[in-house]
Chains A and B, each alone.
Chain A
Amino acid sequence: MNKFNRRTFLKATAAASAVAAVPVYLNFSEHKKVASEAPLKKVWTQCNGCSSMCTKAVYSKNNRLWKVEGHPLHLKAGGRLCARGHGVAIDVYNPSRVDQPYKRVGDSFEPISWEQANAEIGEKLTNIVDQHSGDSVLWVEHGPRGKFYADIFLDLIGSPNYCTHYSTCFTSKTNVWPKMVGSSLAADHENADYLLFAGRNFAGGIIPNGMSKIHKALERGAKLVVVDPKYNEMAKLADEWIPIRPGTDLAFFLGIAHTLISENLYDYRFIGRHVHGFYEFWEANKTADADWAAEVTGIPAETIRRIAREMAAKAPKAILEPGWHGLHAHYANSTQTAQMNVIVNALLGNFYKIGGLYPAQNVPFGSVDRKIPRFKRRGDRADGAGVAGKYPTVEPGRGIAQLTPKLIEDGTIKAVFIYHYNPLRTAPNPEEQKKIKNAELVVVIPTDWNETAVYTADYVLPEHYYLERTEAPRNVNGHVAHIYPQIAIRQTALEPIHNTRHLKDIIDGIATSMGYEGYFDFTLDEEVEAALTTIEDVSRERLYEEGVIEFTSHFVEGIPSEHNTSTGKVNFSVPEYAEHGFSGFPTWVPPATWPKAENEFRLIHGKQPWHSHSVTSNNPYLLEMTKKYNGEWMWMNAIRAEKLGIKNGDVVTIHSSVSTKQAKVKVTELLHPDCVWVANSYGNYSPRQKNGYGIGVNFNDFLEVMVEPMAGGTNCQEIIVSITKGVS
């Protein structure tokens, strides 16, 4: 052992003196040397590997990270962490982190001081607001973690334009559920007897405790059915994998609903008492039976009927999983598909039932005392979300992120702030997104040199890494039903290693330089304390100490007599849609495009369990897994590949209306013949991210910028590609 330690240590010291060349791995000997005498420190904080924000223990010595572990109580972690949870922790040492503020000079960046950055940005922004009004300023972020501070900033400027990435993600779901049910309900997987997963991959877009719960259900004898064009990671555990023609899930759900209704297998008491628009829906869909659905989906009619009957037999402990995106909501029929999720579950009568669906449990938080900005008149949102004549049914609180370059091009938006978001990689058509650069002022607030920072920023203002910062506490909920409310906190686990700042201080710096002083005069500790004033017996210290606190439950099984919707009922037909000329209830809407020619495919995508979109695309550890398992290869069905003369590992040229690129092919039996599949984590094109640069392709490379008119989505699987062997 000693020999190993000593040798590696010598090498590590040599590397450490040439700072830029420090390899991005933790070295045990080095760690031991710096840390052996120091006490082991354990701090609870929240993960940033995905939106589940699992609470995890961070072990360190002398401010040097050792390892992380899941919090046993946390609803999403359940004591476990996925690969991404470990990987993003190590990225605190990634050389691609932005180490201090920078300013663009030509095609490169010059380091500047925070003071200079604040002064210059403040002056430019003041001029833009004076000339074009606050309406010309846009704040866009992953959402909604910066919202509390961003709202203060936008209030000071007088801008209505707070925008999240949601339109490029789960907007169909978040649009539909409040209008149809009043809130989103989560599935009680653990206690269900029948789980239908269609358009949801718990084992790819991982919630660790969600998977533990699935295993518990399976051990109890629950049935798991996975409907997906790709044999996803969940399918491996399923009783049945049912490959469906991509884009036709809506027809499958209509077929299920038709069977439930025509065979009188639905919960007519729930429908009679709590549903608005049932007959409208049924009248319009009377011909959408299982035989019709079989034609559209390629799933045999008997299978569709059998699944409906099996589910009815297990109802109300039978669930069509509510999905992350509102199921396969990646098409022109996204909103209707998401609507069918509500309808199928309502027909099964599983609302507000153990083993069915129920709402998130919350604890209300207090808010810090602060100076409130004077109200400024502002115009309509630039992206048209919630605006009559534009996108009236899209939620104004979330916006339409993919339109940012267009709004800059047509002159509506002059200044953009992009926080914790990388539209150049995660929004459609990167060449289009690059035009964000043309705004008069682009300020990017990242932690690393992602594509958006490199190609569009005038100023790059780095935030502390998630392990280095404290944030206000939050409720733990969503996607996994739970009757006990929980709160959790992100707190500083490692002292900042670069010249970075907390988001609050970044915004305060700019606001102050514009003359808006004193609007952020509170400390993080005060914010945390203020949040907890509404909760008895929970001090800041206790929350820091325990990481997660669980409360007693006020949940009672039973359907509320009033639902928080426009009719007070569960809306099978949504009046808000009907008012604006859309159909209030879903009927069959085909995808906008179909593959036709011999070498045409629909390009679909999904999560790979060890990556999280572009966030982890430069992580050296997770990329080793990619290398080991050919994770960046594009999947193609074996029969289709044979017809095109393509063999496993061959390079092919992929061509869409937007671009032409090359990728390697994985020839597989595990995919529907109509499509090719890529993981959504690759195609990194930031030259400052050396590990990930140039690996694989991304579906966004091939996607046109579109807006689904009802919910604002990107129709991100409306991509037809033609594929030829070799480089052409």
Chain B
Amino acid sequence: MAKFGMLIDASRCTGCGACQIACQMQHQLPPHLQFNRLEFRERGKYPNVRQEIVPVQCMHCDNPPCLHVCPTHATYKRSDGLVLVDHRKCIGCKYCMTACPYDVRTLNDDRVPEKCKFCADTVVQGEEPPCASTCMCGVRTFGDLDDPNSEISKKMAKVDVYQLITEKGTKPRIYYVKK
């Protein structure tokens, strides 16, 4: 069984937004529903200043707070580690939205808190998620963390990584390259 994860090299990102809209098209989302976002920060004072951009989406946590608070088990973890939402079981209580420290859930038009699905249907067929495949800067690498020959494992072996908000014990499946 694959163990899916993602490596994000935020230093390569130029903030073009292609990952957002490619995801929207893949999943046929309306304009106001987005599964990923960019966080922009300025560091320093003119002219000694630089900009940071961090792409953020569902971390597919191994210890997902959203899952633990869900009263109906609508949020569940698939055996390959993807955190998914069963729409039939969702009662729209939005506990998961509050519990998620990454603020990556978004209410769809049926009041179901939706989020990045790690492209659950297509990655099992070996396809790259569109947020990764459309990126001209090669920011995201998606793949099987358990397979030492996967691109992501090879890259992970060569770089130092960090994760977001680890102090909450969420054990995210998304790693960021430390520069």
Point out residues on A near B: beta carbons under 8 Å. Answer: 1-4, 7-8, 11, 23-28, 31, 66-70, 78-83, 85-87, 89-90, 203, 206, 208-209, 211-212, 215, 231, 233-237, 241, 243, 609-610, 620-625, 628-629, 637-639, 668-671, 673
Cα–Cα distance between A609 and B40 once the two chains are bound (Å): 14
| A80 / chain B contacts, CB cutoff of 8 Å | 18, 133-136
B14 close to A637 (CB less than 8 A): no
CB-CB under 8 A for A67 and B49, given A79-B133, A83-B21, A212-B138 = no
Given the known A-B contacts A215-B12, A237-B12, are A622 and B21 also in contact in the complex, defined by CB atoms under 8 Å? Answer: yes
Asked whether A26 lies within 8 Å of B21 as measured between CB atoms, the reply is no
Shortest Cβ gap from A677 to chain B (Å): 13
Q: Give the contact stretch, choosing among B96-104, B106-114, B144-152, B161-169.
A: B106-114
By a CB distance below 8 angstroms, the chain B residues around A209 are: 136
B46 — which chain A residues lie within 8 A by C-beta?
243, 637-639, 669-671, 673
B156 an interface residue at 8 Å Cβ cutoff? no
Q: Which of B25-33, B55-63, B64-72 sits within the interface?
A: B25-33
Contact pick for B136, options A24, A78, A621, CB 8 Å: A78
Interface flag for B88 (CB, 8 Å): yes
**Which interface class (under 10, 10 to 19, 20 to 34, 35 or more) fits B?**
35 or more
Neighbouring B residues of A2 by C-beta, 8 Å: 87-88
Q: Please, which residue of chain B has its CB at the minimum distance from the CB of A232?
A: B14
Question: B40 and A233: CB pair below 8 A?
Answer: no
Q: Are B32 and A211 in contact (CB under 8 A)?
A: no
Task: Identify which of B25, B44, B108 contacts A4 (C-beta below 8 A).
Answer: B108
Task: Tell whether, in the assembled complex, residue B31 and residue A621 are in contact, meaning their CB atoms are under 8 Å apart.
Answer: yes
Interface contact A211-B14, CB-CB below 8 Å: yes
B24 to chain A, nearest CB (A): 6
Nearest residue, chain A, Cβ from B43: A669
Among all A-B residue pairs, the 10 with the closest Cβ atoms: A28-B28, A208-B136, A609-B16, A4-B87, A203-B14, A25-B30, A67-B25, A610-B17, A83-B17, A233-B14
- Is B172's CB within 8 Å of the partner chain A? no
Contact A69:B38 (CB < 8 A) given known A23-B30, A673-B46? no
Contacts A1-B87, A8-B109, A211-B14; is A28 near B27 (CB within 8 Å)?
yes
B137 at interface (Cβ–Cβ under 8 A)? yes
Q: Are A670 and B42 in contact (CB under 8 A)?
A: yes
Q: Which residue of B lies closest to A639 (CB)?
A: B46
Q: How far is the CA of A86 from the CA of B81 in the complex (A)?
A: 29
Q: Is the CB of A69 within 8 A of B133?
A: yes
> Given B18, B30, B133, which contacts A83 in the complex, CB threshold below 8 Å?
B18
Cα A201 to Cα B30 with chains together (Å): 30
21 contacts between A and B (CB under 8 A): A26-B28, A69-B130, A69-B133, A80-B134, A82-B18, A86-B25, A208-B136, A212-B137, A233-B15, A236-B13, A236-B14, A236-B51, A243-B46, A243-B47, A609-B16, A622-B21, A623-B31, A624-B34, A628-B34, A629-B38, A668-B42
Q: Does B153 contact A (CB under 8 A)?
A: no
A670 touches B51 (CB 8 A): yes
User: Of B13, B16, B28, B51, which contacts A66 at CB under 8 A?
Assistant: B28
Which residues of chain B are near A638, meaning CB under 8 Å? 45-46
B53 within 8 Å of A (CB atoms): yes
Taking a contact as CB atoms under 8 Å apart, the answer to whether A67 and B22 are in contact is yes
The answer, among A1, A26, A236, A669, for a CB contact under 8 Å with B53, is: A236
- Chain B: which residue is nearest A243 at the CB level? B47
Besides the contacts A31-B28, A610-B16, what 8 more A-B pairs have beta carbons closer than 8 Å?
Answer: A8-B109, A80-B18, A81-B134, A83-B17, A211-B14, A236-B13, A621-B31, A670-B46
Cβ contacts under 8 Å, A69 to chain B: 130, 133-134
List of A residues within 8 angstroms of B88 by Cβ: 1-3
Chain A hits for B53, CB < 8 A: 236
Find chain B residues with CB under 8 A from A211 CB: 14, 136-137
Which of B42, B46, B108 has its CB near the most chain A CB atoms (within 10 A)?
B46
A669–B136 touching, CB < 8 Å:
no
Q: Is B78 an interface residue (CB 8 A)?
A: no
- B130 to chain A: closest CB distance in Å? 7
Shortest B19–chain A CB gap in Å is: 8
B14, A234: Cβ atoms closer than 8 Å: yes
Determine the chain B residues whose CB is within 8 A of the CB of A89 once the complex forms.
25
Annotate B116-152 by CB proximity to A: 1 below 8 A, 0 otherwise: 0000000000000010011111100000000000000
Most chain-A CB neighbours within 10 Å: which of B34, B40, B47, B108?
Answer: B47
Establish whether residues B136 and A624, one from each chain, have CB atoms under 8 Å apart when the complex forms. no
Contacts of B112 in A (CB 8 A): 3-4
Closest to B112 in A: A4
Residues of B within 8 A of A90 (CB): 25
- Shortest Cβ distance from residue A106 to the other chain B in the assembled complex, whole angstroms: 34
* Other-chain contact of A215, B16, B49, B110, B138 (Cβ < 8 Å): B138
Indicate if the CB atoms of A212 and B136 lie closer than 8 Å.
yes
Instruction: Give the distance in Å from the alpha carbon of A543 to the alpha carbon of B140 in the complex.
Output: 32
- A208–B116 Cα gap in the complex (Å)? 24
Q: Enumerate chain B residues within 8 angstroms of A237, measured Cβ to Cβ.
A: 12, 14
Q: Complex Cα distance A671/B17, Å? A: 22
Among A206, A620, A669, residue most surrounded by chain B Cβ atoms (within 10 Å): A669
A86 contacts B31, C-beta separation under 8 Å: no
Closest chain B CB from A53 CB (angstroms): 16
Given contacts A80-B135, A82-B136, A625-B20, contact A27 B30 (CB under 8 A): yes
B80 an interface residue at 8 Å Cβ cutoff? no
| Bound Cα distance A80, B134 (Å) | 5
Q: Does B37 contact A (CB under 8 A)?
A: yes
- Shortest C-beta distance, A619 to chain B (Å), equals 9
